Amino acid sequence: MIDFEALISGVMQPLERFVKFRVGNLSDAEDILQEVLTAAYRGADTLSDEVMFKPWILGIARNKCNDYFRAKAKRMEIPLESLDETALTTGIHGVTTRAVVHETLNRLGDTDKQILYLSYFRDLRQAEIASRLGIPVGTVKSRLYHAKQQFRDLYPEKPKGEIVMKNERKFMPEYMPDYQIKEVGGEPFAVCWEEIMGWLIVPKLGEAISWAMYDFPKRRRTEQCDMKVVGKAMVHGIEGVEIEAIEYDPMDCNRIDGADVAKRRFVAQLTDTHCRYLAECHEEDGLKKLYTFLDGDDFLQSWGFGEDNCGNETHIAPKGLIRKDGNIVATVKQPFMLDVVGRFEVQINGKTYDTVCVIDAGAYEEGVVTEQYLDRSGRTVLWRRFNRNDWMQESYKRPWTELLPENERMTVDGETYVHWYDCISDHIL
């Protein structure tokens, strides 16, 4: 049984700041705080880790604030006194003064105020806004475009501290270099792996990387991503660093508004034991979309990893959860299966690397297995992806053995997986 009073005492000050910052009406904020405390007390026994109490109760507070504004929106009451500037001007553009934003909003017509409130502050999708207002999606798009233009025209100051994302592209090889992977004797070495899951960059000041995907069997470059850490950042009181990413020719699942260049911002945190995402931001339909680790499934399904989004472990060594014998893989089935499976020599781009192979057996995504070869510095030399034969068959219509009949196969716990693509970075160039 957790000591609820002691935990509440430790988070009460940031909890009050969070609610009163979101809800400008002091009386309403006090009511919401009481609802948060009541809900937290009733659900405290469901919390498995006291360390997660602060983000857990802030998540409850966020949901209660959302309920408050949802009720306001249903009545079409636009509480401009509660619209903090972060809804429109925080992120890569820094923070402007609250008074200037409110003054600009108050100069807009009611229709423009309403659409900006629902889109930016309530973060509703255009289809949801259309349903809420009883108008076509096309009308929502045109109203939103007009409202943003009006806001920009009326806003008296330019945001300070904006970081311009330059389109200076470092081209990765057009074709995947030939490589050989050879298992070698000796125990796998322990390694400190500080790269953020899936994006190959270490979230430390001064870090930058370019990496690319290569489809098989053609081995031609499909997507390239240039990334760099641009500064420190804090999300809900947790400090990390901000990372900008520019994706060129992204895969369909990574495209934004169908464009050939996708720009994102991440906030990531590196500790002595784990590396995890705290937030992701991109622009869609002319709107900045910001998701944080408190946003539940909207964030966790795409950017979360590990129990309670603890992230990926940085100090890794064999655990005995996964065994690899050639292209036969066997696992001890449990959540978040990621393990070192052996020591390998990787020859690529004219160089030879002493590596350990880390296999992710569905930890990041069900039906996907990856091999990641890390050198002694903990950097990725080669990353390979395999899809279970029925992965996303509702979209691709055929099993992967038919879609990619020439590609390498892997058997994982008796099921067939097919090699899809590889990734390398300028670390090996």
pLDDT digits (tens, 9 = 90+) for 52-111: 888 888 889 888 887 877 666 555 444 444 443 333 333 323 333 444 566 677 677 777
Inter-residue contact 104 to 156 (CB < 8 Å): yes
More confident of the two residues 244 and 13:
244
| 279, amino acid identity | A
Q: How far apart are CA 354 and CA 358, in angstroms?
A: 13
Which among 46, 62, 49 is positioned nearest to 14, based on CA atoms?
62
* Omega prior to 55 cis, within 30 of 0: no
3-state secondary structure 262-313: EEEEEEEEECCCEEEEEEEEEEECCEEEEEECCCCHHHHHHHCCCHHHCCEE
Secondary structure of the chain: what % helix, strand, coil (to 5)? 35, 30, 35
- Is residue 31 predicted with pLDDT exceeding 80? yes
In the prediction, which pLDDT does 331 show?
92
For the segment 192-208, the average pLDDT, to the nearest whole number, is 94
Give pLDDT, residue 327. Answer: 93
Give phi and psi for 340, each to the nearest 5. -80, 125
Q: Is 66 within 8 Å of 88 (Cβ atoms)?
A: no
Average pLDDT over residues 33-38: 92
Alpha carbon of 344 to those of 14, 181, 184, 352, 356: distances in Å?
A: 48, 7, 5, 10, 6
DSSP helix/strand/coil, 233: strand
DSSP state of 175: B
- Residue 26's φ and ψ, nearest 5 degrees, are -60, -40
**Highest averaged pLDDT of the listed ranges 12-16, 30-34, 66-70, 404-408:** 404-408
Mean pLDDT over the full length of the chain: 82
Q: Looking at residue 342, what is its pLDDT? A: 94
Residues 6+ apart with CB under 8 A from 319: 339, 340
| Per-residue confidence (pLDDT) for residue 253, from 0 to 100 | 64
8 A C-beta contact, residue 339 and residue 349: no
What is the per-residue pLDDT for 135?
A: 81
CA 127, 253, 269, 365 dihedral sign is positive
* pLDDT greater than 80 at residue 183: yes
Spatial separation of the C-alpha atoms in residues 268 and 265, rounded to whole Å: 10
Are the beta carbons of 245 and 225 closer than 8 angstroms?
yes
Question: 281-305, pLDDT tens digit by residue?
Answer: 998 878 888 988 877 777 877 788 8
pLDDT at residue 336 above 70? yes
Per-residue pLDDT, 20: 77
- What is the secondary structure of 337-361 as a DSSP string? -EEEEEEEEEEETTEEEEEEEEEEE
Which burial class, exposed, middle or buried, applies to 334 when counting CB atoms under 10 A from its CB (0-12, 13-18, 19+)? Answer: exposed
The pLDDT score that the predictor gives to residue 163 is: 36
CA distance 368 to 208: 27
Across residues 147-166, what is the average pLDDT?
Answer: 58
For the ranges 181-185, 293-297, 365-369, the lowest mean pLDDT is seen at 293-297
- Rounded-to-integer distance, Cα 373 and Cα 354, Å: 9
pLDDT at residue 215 is higher than 80:
yes
Residue 128 has pLDDT above 90, yes or no: no
What pLDDT score was predicted for residue 351? 94
Of 165-174, 235-244, 260-269, 308-317, the range with the lowest mean pLDDT is 165-174
The predicted pLDDT at position 309 comes to 76
CA distances in angstroms from 130 to 67, 143, 289, 398, listed in the order given: 19, 11, 18, 36
DSSP letter for 78, please: -
Report whether pLDDT(137) > 90: no
The lowest-confidence range among 251-255, 276-280, 296-300, 375-379 is 251-255
Residue 133 pLDDT: 76
Tokens at 355, concatenated = 């590596």
Q: Token digits for 236?
A: 């809900």
Q: Comparing 164 with 412, which gets the higher pLDDT?
A: 412
pLDDT over 90 (residue 121)? no
The residue type found at 189 is: F
Which are the contacts of 203, defined by CB distance < 8 A and separation ≥ 6?
194, 196, 229, 240, 241, 243, 268, 269, 270, 275
Q: What percentage of the chain reaches a pLDDT higher than 90?
A: 41
**19-28, 177-186, 200-209, 228-237: range with lowest mean pLDDT:** 19-28
Tokens of residue 253, six digits: 């699942």
**Domains along the chain with CATH numbers:** 4-154 (1.10.10.10), 171-189+314-429 (no CATH), 194-309 (no CATH)
Residue 231 and residue 241 in contact, taking contact as beta carbons nearer than 8 Å: yes
CB 298, CB 276: distance < 8 Å: no
Confidence label for 114 from pLDDT (cuts 50, 70 and 90): confident
